[in-house]
Amino acid sequence: MRETPPRYLDPVAGLAAGLGVLALLLPWLELKSSRIAPGEPFHVWDWQGFGALALLILWAGVARAQGPAQVGLLGLALLAWGLLTGQGADALLSGQPESARVSPAGGFWLTLLALYVGYFAAYRQGGWILLTVLLGLALLLGLGAFERLGPLMEFQSWREQFFTELWRHLSLSGSAVLLAVAVGVPLGVLAAGNPRMGWVLGVTGFLQTIPSLALFGLLLPLLAAISQGLRLEIALGAIVLGMFAFRLLWAVSGWLAVSLALSLGLLALAMAGAWLNSLLGPDPLRIVLGAPLQESGVRGIGAAPAVLALTLYALLPLVLNTYTGLRGVPEDARDAGRGMGMSPEQLFWRVELPLALPLILEGIRSAASLTIGITTVAALIGAGGLGFFILRGVEGGAPDMVLLGAVPIILLALLVDSALRFASMALRRRVGI
């Protein structure tokens, strides 16, 4: 009796299909009389019974298919998801007053999740399948499939400000990460080289535990007081003098020296953060000599406290990863390097740093995606960013506006994370770890 080959069912693809089918049973879209009104749920079959059936068949196919066929079916499911949504939005909105809105509901989101899981299963085909995803999404956007969904209607109203806040969000996060690298990596190098500097790790770790809102709240009155009273030249002068004074004080009292360094360091960071953000972002850079700091853009609210707090949060992954990366340099490589006649600087730049670099890059990745998320809170203190839409949306009871803020933030974080992950892997392979 001839044996039939076993039926093939990839459990992950099966999960995706299961989720996809379940999603069809949930309401797909919500129709509201206005952006703040409660919504009435609708299922896919309410406007396109055929569509529901088609998706059902596609999911069954995804579960059973293999190889390029599976990828093809997933692509079709992606297109179906978008086109059905667009069709539904049009259908539901016809004959409704202008203020009416259609929002995505459970079925829409669950299908997105199912697609994600499905592509995860298919990923072993190779990275090229991501191209198909991008193509599919581009096609859907080009056809205007999501155009009449609530969040995108909000986008139409707030278009200009959306891009400004997006830019602000990027400049706030970017400034913070850049400053965190500039401060954190040297701190990590210090900590790795000198066992007595281990407390650096402890302090940056402690900073992480402070709730973000609390940290912002603490910094606001502090910076407000300083920026109103202190003149720009005095601030700059104090920082420069402080650098010299540090050396002298270190011999006298470690604690005094460190306190001085910390307070002046925070001031310097606040100033650097505000100015870097102005350089990178849409808000103009103003340097006014002879006037209090706040004339030069360093205020108690806005970019200065925001970037300062964000930088402090981003410090830990950078300091820790730099430290671990340097510690992880093989001891025999160090010994051989020294023994061969490398000076300490040459050893650091030619051996230790290149070997620690992949881990440092991981730290940057970690810090970047973390920071993009926390930057959301910056809007609360008048620094702008995509959090503005989340706040207005919550305050105004408009979930569509919340999505307008939240979805780009998520996408940004994912994008940055993936890009840096890719770079880090490539570097690891090159360095041989």
Partner 1 sequence: MIRFENVVKRYGDFEALKGVRLEVAEGQLVTLLGPSGCGKTTLLRTVNRLIEPSEGTVFIGEQDVRQLDEVELRRGIGYVIQSIGLFPHMSVLENVMVVPRLLGWSKEKREARAREMLALVGLEPQTFAGRFPRELSGGQAQRVGLARALAADPPVLLMDEPFGAVDPPTRERLQDEFLRLQSELKKTVLFVTHDLEEAVRISDRICLMNSGRVEQYDTPEVLLRSPKTPFVRDFLGPSRTLLRLSRIPLNDLIEPLGTHRPAVSIKRSATARDAFSLLLANGIRSLAVTDEGGQVVGLVRLESLLTAASEEEP
Partner 2 sequence: MKSVFAFLIALGLGLALAQKGPITVGSKIDTEGAVLCQMVKILLEANGFRVNDRCSTGTTDVVRKALTSGEIDLYPEYTGTALGVFFKNDPSAQAVTRDAAKGFARVKELDAKNNIVWLNPAPANNTWAIAVPRTLAQQNNLRTMADFARWVNGGAQVRLAASQEFVDRDDALKAFERVYGFKLKPEQLVILPGGNTTQTQQAAARGTGGVNAAMAYGTDGGIAALGLVALTDPRGAVAVYQPAITVRKAVFDRFPELATLINPVFATLDEATLSQLNAEVAVSGKNPAEVARAYLRSKNFIR
Strands 39-42 and 29-32: antiparallel
Exactly one of 124, 343, 411, 425 binds partner 1 (CB under 8 A); which one?
343
**Judged by CB, which is closer to partner 1: 141, or 431?**
431
- 32: which 2 tokens? 């509201």
| 212-229 and 303-327 helices, crossing angle to 10° | 120
CB of 105 to partner 2, least distance (A): 15
State how far the Cα of 431 lies from the Cα of 356, in Å rounded to an integer.
9
| Total residues interacting with partner 1, rule: CB under 8 A | 21
Nearer to partner 1, 298 or 356 (CB): 356
Token pair, residue 149, equals 């969904």
Q: Is the dihedral of CA 412, 413, 414, 415 positive or negative?
A: positive
Query: Which window, 204-212, 236-244, 377-385, 413-421, contacts partner 2 (CB under 8 A)?
Result: 377-385
Site string (386-405) toward partner 2, x via CB under 8 A: --x--xx-xxxxx-xx----
Question: Which CB atom, from 336 or from 410, has the smaller least distance to partner 1?
Answer: 336
* Interface mask toward partner 2 for 55-84; x: CB under 8 A: ------------------------------
Neighbouring C-alpha atoms within 13 Å toward the C-beta of 220: 13
Neighbours of 348 (CB within 10 A): 18
Indicate which of partner 1, partner 2, none lies near residue 151 (CB less than 5 to 8 Å, by partner kind).
none
Minimum separation from the CB atom of position 374 to partner 2 (A): 18
Question: Which of the choices partner 2, partner 1, none does residue 172 contact, using the CB cut-off of 5 to 8 A by kind?
Answer: none
Q: Could you tell me which stretch among 78-86, 268-276, 337-345, 402-410 binds partner 1 (CB under 8 A)?
A: 337-345
Q: Which is nearer to partner 1, 286 or 350 (CB)?
A: 350
Q: What ranges in 9-100 are assigned the alpha helix state H? A: 11-25, 49-64, 67-93
Please pick, from the candidates 228, 335, 397, 418, the single residue that binds partner 1 as defined by CB under 8 A. 335
Q: How many residues does the chain have?
A: 433
| C-alpha to C-alpha distance for 378 and 305, rounded to whole angstroms | 9
> What is the C-alpha separation between 229 and 203, in angstroms, rounded?
29
Q: Which helix (H) or strand (E) holds 423?
A: helix 399-431
Residue from 157, 259, 346, 418 in contact with partner 1 (CB under 8 A)? 346
Name the nearest CA neighbour of 405 among 414, 396, 415, 392. Answer: 392
Closest contact distance (angstroms) between CB of 396 and partner 2 is 5
Looking at residues 82 to 141 of the shown chain, list those that interact with partner 2 (rule: CB under 8 A).
Answer: 98-99, 101
Dihedral (CA of 178, 414, 155, 310) sign = negative
Q: Give the span between the Cα atoms of 182 and 315, in whole angstroms.
A: 10
In the complex, the residues that contact partner 1 under the rule CB under 8 A are 330, 332-343, 346, 351, 354-355, 430-433
In the complex, the residues that contact partner 2 under the rule CB under 8 A are 33-38, 98-99, 101, 153-154, 157-158, 161, 224, 228, 294, 299-302, 380-382, 388, 391-392, 394-398, 400-401
